[in-house]
Amino acid sequence: MIRDYHSPERVEDALALLARGAVAVGGATALYTAKSSRDIELVDVTRLGLDQITVDKDKVVIGAGVTLSRLGAAADIPGMPGALLRKAARAVASEPLRNMITVAGNVAGLNYWADLPPVLLALDATVEVRKQGQAPSAHPIAACLEAGKHPWEGGMIAAVTVPLTQAAQVFGYERFVRTVTDYSLATACVTMTRDGALMRNVHLVIGALQARPHRAAKAEAKLEGKAYDAAAVDEAIATLGDLPVAPNFRASPGYRRQLAGVLSRRALMTAYEWARES
């Protein structure tokens, strides 16, 4: 039950409320599906001015309150990170929902199907946390996605930062849904840097299979520093055969594991084709 609702305009006021146990709310889309019977006090964080996207030379800072619609239209974010973030944001649910869902809510909700966390993991993003009486702190998204780690507890996510580089980066992004507004059955996101014909800094993130997205380290190791060819990709995909899959009602674990392999192969091909053409 919602005991109280606040909509502060100053970050300090929001932090004071959060420090005493109030719960942050962004787009509030998770309220529809929340099963909690806990008596809660809500702090709406969408009027704090944290809805800007700031592009610097070496990073883009995406405010907590940026909606997925805004992110999906953010033509000012350059290069591969911009193209990947726009593609992933536009893939989520429906336009009315994208108008409400915020970047911070999609991350902090920690839903296994959430579409931004796998992409932010592939992009080595960091999460900026604010807490009352403390200096802002930055946490690698990989650490935030570890079980039981929620660095924003008692405070809030203020922004997500994605590094930008001059390197020739490419991506492939595949997500399988039965209907356009369904949650993903499996997601594969690949980022890499082109070094002539070689694949460098390969990140292969699998989403929607387990409670949190994760990097497929064994597959990445099979690809790192190699030229793209069928044998290298086959070897990498074979390592996904023993991925643990959390059961859900959408499809069997075996099907979703196989799907993850198919989508990873497609994402790798897309990334590499892009690398060859660019």
Ligand X SMILES: Cc1cc2nc3c(=O)[nH]c(=O)nc-3n(C[C@H](O)[C@H](O)[C@H](O)COP(=O)(O)OP(=O)(O)OC[C@H]3O[C@@H](n4cnc5c(N)ncnc54)[C@H](O)[C@@H]3O)c2cc1C
In the complex, which residues of this chain contact ligand X (CB under 6 A)? 23-33, 45, 64, 92-93, 97, 100-102, 104-106, 108-109, 111, 113-115, 152, 156-157, 183
For residue 163, the minimal CB distance to ligand X (Å) is 21
Name which of 19 and 28 has its Cβ closer to ligand X. Answer: 28
For residue 102, the minimal CB distance to ligand X (Å) is 3
Place of tokens 């889309």: 29
Residues sharing a CB contact under 8 Å with residue 9, sequence separation 6 or more, in sequence order: 47, 48, 49
Q: Which secondary-structure segment (H or E) carries 36?
A: none
For residue 218, the minimal CB distance to ligand X (Å) is 26
The β-bridge relationship of strands 40-44 and 23-25 is parallel
Name which of 200 and 250 has its Cβ closer to ligand X. Answer: 250
Alpha carbon distance 67, 23 (integer Å): 19
Alpha carbon distance 265, 143 (integer Å): 26
CA atoms within 13 A on the CB side of 224: 10
Name which of 119 and 245 has its Cβ closer to ligand X. Answer: 119
- CA-wise closest residue to 23 among 137, 121, 155, 181: 155
Name which of 9 and 277 has its Cβ closer to ligand X. Answer: 9
Name which of 130 and 265 has its Cβ closer to ligand X. Answer: 130
Alpha carbon distance 187, 38 (integer Å): 33
For residue 196, the minimal CB distance to ligand X (Å) is 36
Other C-beta atoms closer than 10 Å to the C-beta of 129 total 22
For residue 241, the minimal CB distance to ligand X (Å) is 26
Please identify the residue of the shown chain whose CB is closest to the bound ligand X.
Answer: 105
For residue 116, the minimal CB distance to ligand X (Å) is 6
Name which of 156 and 233 has its Cβ closer to ligand X. Answer: 156
